[in-house]
Chains A and B, each alone.
Chain A
Amino acid sequence: MSGADNSGMIKAIDFSSKDHYRTKAFPSPFFTRQQAVNELQEWGRWADYLSPRAYYCSSMEYFAARNASAVFDLTPMSKYRISGPDALPCLNRLVTRQVEKIKPGRVGYCVWCTDAGQVIDDGTIFHLSEGEYRLCSQERHLDWLLTNTVGFDVTVSDETHMVAALALQGPTSCATLKAMGLEGVENMKPFDIEYFPFEESQLMVSRTGFTGDLGYELWVEPRYAEALWDRLFEAGKLRGIQAMGDEALAMLRVEAGFIQAGHDFMPAHATVRTTHTRSPFELGLSWLVDFDKPVFNGRKALLEEQARGHRYNLVKLDIDGNKPANDSFVYTTGKKLIGTVTSAIWSPSAKASIALASVKTPHGQSGEEFLVEIYYQKELKWSRVMARARVVSDVFFTPPRRRQTPPADF
């Protein structure tokens, strides 16, 4: 892996070395290319990796994703390979949904819980080939996954560092991949997985993403990472391709109504105060909970919760005005405190102040009106506004191209 030579500051990581732990922040396999376009030189952290917060302007990066295409480095995401004769029953016990519904060559969104039915994390299961799975998530879960293997003939290996990954998101993403020579990529349906020859290796492509838009994720061995980046940007040059950092992605995912660990819920294993976690029902994920299958982690507690009633609803809010409602309290119109905003942005595509919020039941019915307490400042002068907000049931931004197959050519 290269990287050290060019930066002089950042040490390349050799994961086969016993000393790799001495490095606090690993450069991604795309580091040399990221650094070259990272005009701001603002590096954030995602688990073990350096992850650019923004390359040159988070708003422009956001618009690239909505109007052309944007590239986001996914390498730091946790990637666990789950294989062996019992891979399916083991996953079925781990997550709350029916895993057999995710056929080979398909990807499925899922959520997994503690025995107490509290969400540990959400993520995606990639059914790579018959009986071979990859579980991807934001947080690290090796310990929990190994705990889950007891009694199953299954192997879990952490391949986070063995796979370099890029998300290519936006309306011109399909055309870019076609121009890159991925024949037939336009026929992939949402959540499909396909393999394409790449250099002396192969490139795995999934039609997935965290933007709620047309987009793909590209998975390759780290030694081909730079080649992938170069060929992608070459093919996308006339299609408006741009690198995109964490800040732009954060806006995109709120518009798509996607929740994120650490923002919209506390991962149960990282939570000390046990009442601060959420169940899948309380995150609007009841469609992911399938009581038709036998034992799964949290089943008993979730059955009890279903009978007893939930504590919270996670809602999408359309808020009057143009002030983002970050960290705001949510009140009824009668000014009774009922919850908090978990994520909020000014949405350039919806042209609205939007938010995800966690409110106490029974509040949170579609169309219900709330007041949101927003603090904002202009040149250090602070003001407060109690903005009206409505619970909406539709996703803030969901263009038809998101599901269109084949997507439009550019």
Chain B
Amino acid sequence: MTNDIIIIGGGHNGLACAAYLAKAGKRVTVLEAAEQLGGAAITREFAPGYQVSAGAHLLYMLDKNVRKELALESNGLAFSQSNMKTVALAEDGDHLVIANNSAQGAGITDADQVALQEYQRFMTRFASIIGRLHNRIPPRIATKNSSDLLTLAKTALDIRMLGRDDMREFLRIAGINIYDILQENFDHPLLKGALSMDGILGTNLGPRSNNSVFTTLHRLSGLQGINMPRGGLGAVSEALATVARKHGATIRTSAVVTRICMQGDRVTGVELQDGEEISASAVVSSADPRTTFMGLLGARNLEAGFVRRINNIRMRGTAAKLHLALDGLPAFKGLEAGLLGERILIAPDIEYVERAFNQVKYGQHSVHPVAEITLPSLHDDSLAPNGKHVLSAIIQYAPYDLKNGWASQKAAFTEQVIDLLEQYAPGIRQQIIHQEMLTPVDIEREFRISGGHWHHGELAIDQFLMLRPAPHSAQYLSPVDGLYLCGAGSHPGGGVMGSAGRNAASAILKATQKDERS
């Protein structure tokens, strides 16, 4: 048997895993289906001369260890903008700007300022509990394994060390909804609307849905400020690929894996679309768990209870992505030009956000969506021709399983979103040279993510740690010998972090060492 490891998918987690495995001396081949590496951390052309981060468009929580251990900065990663502010747009032009634990404008009260400081204090503190888990292989419960028990004990200790009051508060809020927390702490509608976005972006949750405190904490857990890599998010993937190659990994693009091959209870390799078969002693999939198990391996090769668990993972994408090529800078009502390059939100109050969510419960898209808007070309002139600009926005809610399908409703939805932008930035419609809307169905097709869900499955307490993606495939393992997972569907989940890839590599190294010994 060969000693090769195949990694399915050249997204940032697949590449991070490849880099670590290659660094440890493994012979690694990465197979990326698309022509370009990066998965959903990619910069690509969407109109002639216009480049955009087609998936994720801001970098929040790239794993510090990955960054340092793989020396990403000396391998091409640079930032065009760091520590971006958040602008909460008001329809009347009296906007609120949030930066470094304080908010300015829109008549914000001192009481809200104080509350914001306190909110940031305890949320950051609680988030660090989750953050400390990111670089731990998730522990199994009901186990006698000493490293699992140690991790469980460390986490329990982390919670206990919060002290009586904070521990009580953490346990009170960890499972509930962000709406209640924000209502308890704040008065200003723009502030509550903007903060609620941390809990709902990329999820199938409204502010009143339970678990939205957890998603907020997850976002804060690895927060390194809000940053924009030079050259877009694709720069992260490229830097990871450079490191992987330096350590001897082979990276192939346009290599579409159609099947994971098995013999007996063991994985033997993969088969590509053109019929090529590549054998390997281990296959690591950075594809989402449903694609990996149901699509590539096949339900027939798995036991039925596990099939049921994989089929029941909640992974309904609700976020759409809008890309506009603009003939000049848009003018947002009342927004000074210096703030155009920040993270701009349309979420004027928390009730608005909850109402936007209401429709998805019934298979419809929001009538008045919420949006996270960036203008990356302001910081990076490589993205658009001179004098032109690129607008990239996450639009919610746009459910994957839209009633009557997206084909007939995408154009109308796009118009509705542009109408919304027009309300805040009059005249923007006239500036549009090209437009591209990626619904979750398009995201599924382009990035090969089942359900079009960024995180390869909802980030939820019941789909986290040892439960991610499902029992019996936590710890980056699977029920099939020699098949591993390293994508966002595994702990600690989605967002451009690279932690899943890094943790997977160490789990795989541990497992293969055990195989070699026995």
Contacts and interface: CB of A to CB of B under 8 A. Distances in A.
A216 interface: no
Contacts of B304: 93-94, 115, 144, 147-148, 150, 297
B313 interface: no
A299 B303 contact: yes
Give the interface centre of B265, B294, B304, B472 by most chain A CB atoms within 10 Å: B304
A303 B298 CA distance: 22
Nearest to A112: B304
Nearest to A115: B305
B303 A115 contact: yes
A114 B308 CA distance: 12
B307 interface: yes
B307 A151 contact: yes
B76 interface: no
Contact of B306 (A115, A144, A152, A296): A115
Interface residues of B, number: 17
Given A115-B472, A150-B311, A151-B294, A297 B299 contact: no
B300 interface: yes
A150 B307 contact: yes
B308 A295 contact: no
A52 B451 CA distance: 52
Contacts of A152: 299-300
Nearest to B265: A300
A151 B303 contact: no
Q: How large is the interface on A (under 10, 10 to 19, 20 to 34, 35 or more residues)?
A: 10 to 19
Contacts of A148: 304
Contacts, number: 50
Interface in B279-328: 294, 298-308, 311
B264 interface: yes
Give the interface centre of B300, B302, B308 by most chain A CB atoms within 10 Å: B300
Contacts of B479: 115, 300
Interface string A216-241: 00000000000000000000000000
A114 B264 CA distance: 20
Contact of A294 (B264, B307, B472): B264
B305 A295 contact: no
A89 interface: yes
A25 B72 CA distance: 70
A151 B308 CA distance: 11
A145 to B, nearest CB: 9
Contact of B301 (A144, A295, A297): A295
A298 interface: yes
Give the interface centre of B294, B298, B302 by most chain A CB atoms within 10 Å: B302
Contacts of A89: 300
A317 B305 CA distance: 35
Contacts of B303: 93, 115, 295-300
Give the interface centre of B298, B299, B479 by most chain A CB atoms within 10 Å: B299
B154 to A, nearest CB: 27
Nearest to B299: A151
Interface string A309-330: 0000000000000000000000
Contacts of B305: 114-116, 147, 297
18 contacts: A93-B303, A94-B304, A115-B305, A115-B306, A115-B472, A150-B299, A150-B308, A151-B294, A151-B298, A151-B299, A152-B299, A294-B265, A295-B265, A295-B302, A297-B304, A297-B305, A299-B265, A299-B303
Given A114-B305, A300-B303, 17 more contacts: A93-B304, A115-B472, A115-B479, A144-B304, A147-B304, A147-B307, A150-B299, A150-B308, A151-B298, A152-B299, A152-B300, A294-B301, A295-B301, A295-B303, A297-B303, A297-B304, A299-B303
Interface of B: 264-265, 294, 298-308, 311, 472, 479
